[in-house]
């Protein structure tokens, strides 16, 4: 029996290593193909609008030029600036890339509410070294240079998407680490620009954050969501810079019900707040009376402190529509907002009309 368990463990380890090697192979192919395309014709600058739902928050601009500095082939700059509910952030990165888009050198300067910071990367004797300074503190990281070591793989997606089922790159910017780009088998329906269509989904995961890209039939990235954050991004023509997106807010019914809850909290609307709950179900679950449930929910959630922590009324629907992720299973749904998890079910109201109502909430 012990030999059998050991054999299974070894087989699993082998298969994991094979998948990792395949991902790295696809990473090399992706970088070579994109680098060759840039060598033939330098791409136009890419501008990504950054939004909270439909509300303009800022932009990221990526520019590629040819160079011979430091033995590099390309001079890549990334400029990002956005403001999330009064918290402004900006960053300028200057990166030298080889002809296969591996990193040769990099300098970054950033500003945020918490202070300023810099990063400087050098490559020598087959290793990269990153010096980080933030808030008066200094830190150094280093690693082995490989054929898939880049500065930040996510920035390359503004120019071209990996075509393989799974692609892996190693990012030396000190935050991201190993980055995996995985295509889902199933497409997802999404409404963009007033048109509903099916999109291929590319999941991007790394050691710092996760994003989800939606690709059109031509393989171009048309929309990106940050998972667990109220931000999204889209390619942005010059005429749209600084403007909100003029289209309806697309949310599922369970997410909309939780948005109704938060809006009632923001307004201090006790009746509207209680109308989002299935109070009898909560009472059955907790063993309390209906009056006790109402009093407990209002005491916990309808407070001045809660009101102050929420976005303003104009921003609130977009903020939570972008942040929330719903998982539906028939008449049951789970809505995840990162720090809060809501369970809902569909019940008939007094008129017999089915309606999604909350029956439990967990704050993390």
Please report which confidence band the pLDDT of residue 151 belongs to, taking 50, 70 and 90 as the band edges. very high
- Tell me the percentage of the chain whose pLDDT exceeds 70: 94
Number of residues that make up the chain: 364
Last residue of a domain, one of 183, 212, 240: 240
Please report which confidence band the pLDDT of residue 249 belongs to, taking 50, 70 and 90 as the band edges. confident
Specify whether 228 is located in the same domain as 303: no
3-state secondary structure of 1: coil
Q: Is residue 61 part of a domain?
A: yes
Specify whether 293 is located in the same domain as 183: no
Specify whether 283 is located in the same domain as 350: yes
Q: Is residue 6 part of a domain?
A: no
Q: Which domain covers residue 262, as residue numbers?
A: 253-363
The count of other CB atoms within 10 Å of the CB of residue 115 is 10
Q: Are 158 and 16 in contact (CB under 8 A)?
A: no
Name the residue among 318, 324, 317, 315 with its Cα closest to residue 342.
324
How much is the pTM? 0.85
Alpha carbons 65 and 43: distance in angstroms, whole number: 8
Specify whether 314 is located in the same domain as 350: yes
Q: Is residue 204 part of a domain?
A: yes
Check residue 4 and give its pLDDT: 43
Specify whether 221 is located in the same domain as 303: no
Specify whether 257 is located in the same domain as 236: no
Please report which confidence band the pLDDT of residue 316 belongs to, taking 50, 70 and 90 as the band edges. very high
Specify whether 263 is located in the same domain as 153: no
Alpha carbons 335 and 329: distance in angstroms, whole number: 12
pLDDT tens per residue across span 69-106: 999 999 999 999 999 878 899 999 999 999 999 999 99
Tokens standing for residue 39: 């060598």
Check residue 364 and give its pLDDT: 66
Q: Is residue 350 part of a domain?
A: yes
Last residue of a domain, one of 240, 262, 281: 240
pLDDT of 17 over the 70 cut: no
Check residue 349 and give its pLDDT: 76
Burial of 355 (0-12, 13-18, 19+ CB in 10 A): middle
Specify whether 114 is located in the same domain as 145: yes
Q: What is the DSSP string of 155-218?
A: HHTTT----SSEEEEEE-SSS-EEEEEEE-SS-EEEEETTEEEEEEEEEEE-SS-EEEEEE-TT
pLDDT of 10 over the 50 cut: no
Check residue 13 and give its pLDDT: 41
pLDDT tens per residue across span 51-72: 999 999 999 999 999 999 999 9
Domain count, the chain: 2
Q: Is residue 145 part of a domain?
A: yes
DSSP 45: P
Specify whether 209 is located in the same domain as 283: no
Helices and strands (DSSP H and E) totals, the chain = 8, 20
pLDDT of 207 over the 90 cut: no
Tokens standing for residue 161: 């998407």
Burial of 253 (0-12, 13-18, 19+ CB in 10 A): middle
Alpha carbons 46 and 154: distance in angstroms, whole number: 13
Specify whether 106 is located in the same domain as 210: yes
Neighbouring residues of 244: CB distance < 8 A, sequence distance ≥ 6:
51, 54, 55, 56
Q: Is residue 316 part of a domain?
A: yes
Q: Is residue 347 part of a domain?
A: yes
DSSP 152: -
Last residue of a domain, one of 218, 240, 262: 240
pLDDT of 9 over the 70 cut: no
For the chain, first and last CA: distance in Å? 42
Burial 254-276 (b: 16+ CB within 10 A, else e): bbbbbbbbbbbbbeeeeeebbbb
Alpha carbons 31 and 164: distance in angstroms, whole number: 12
Q: Is residue 175 part of a domain?
A: yes
Specify whether 218 is located in the same domain as 267: no
Specify whether 233 is located in the same domain as 131: yes
The residue that leads in pLDDT, 5 or 248, is 248
């Amino acid at each position: 029996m012990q030999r059998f368990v050991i054999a299974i463990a070894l087989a699993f380890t082998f298969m994991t290593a094979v998948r990792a090697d395949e991902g790295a192979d696809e990473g090399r192919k992706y970088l070579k193909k994109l680098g060759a395309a840039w060598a033939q014709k330098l791409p136009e600058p890419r501008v990504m609008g950054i939004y909270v739902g439909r509300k303009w928050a800022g932009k990221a601009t990526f520019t590629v030029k040819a160079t011979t500095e430091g033995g590099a082939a390309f001079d890549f700059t990334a400029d990002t600036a956005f403001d999330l509910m009064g918290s402004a952030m900006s960053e300028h990165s200057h990166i030298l890339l080889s002809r296969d888009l591996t990193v040769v050198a990099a300098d970054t300067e950033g500003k945020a509410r918490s202070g300023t910071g810099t990063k400087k990367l050098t490559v020598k004797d087959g290793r990269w070294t990153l010096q980080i300074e933030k808030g008066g503190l200094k830190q150094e990281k280093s690693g082995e240079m490989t054929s898939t070591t880049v500065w930040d793989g996510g920035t390359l997606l503004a120019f071209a998407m990996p075509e393989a089922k799974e692609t892996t790159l190693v990012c030396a910017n000190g935050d991201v680490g190993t980055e995996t780009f995985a295509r889902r088998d199933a497409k997802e329906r999404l409404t963009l620009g007033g048109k509903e269509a099916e999109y291929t989904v590319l999941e991007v995961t790394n050691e710092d954050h996760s994003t989800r890209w939606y690709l059109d039939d031509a393989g171009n990235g048309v929309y990106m969501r940050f998972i667990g954050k109220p931000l999204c991004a889209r390619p942005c023509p010059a005429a749209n810079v600084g403007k909100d997106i003029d289209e309806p807010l697309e949310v599922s019914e369970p997410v909309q019900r939780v948005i109704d809850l938060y809006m009632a909290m923001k307004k201090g609307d006790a009746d509207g707040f209680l109308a989002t709950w299935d109070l009898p179900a909560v009472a059955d679950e907790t063993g309390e009376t209906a009056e006790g449930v109402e009093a407990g929910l209002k005491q916990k959630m309808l407070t001045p402190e809660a009101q102050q922590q929420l976005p303003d009324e104009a921003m609130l629907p977009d903020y939570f529509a972008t942040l929330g992720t719903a998982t539906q299973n028939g008449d049951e749904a789970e809505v995840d907002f990162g720090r809060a998890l809501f369970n809902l079910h569909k019940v008939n109201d007094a008129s017999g009309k089915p309606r999604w109502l909350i029956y439990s909430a967990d704050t993390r």
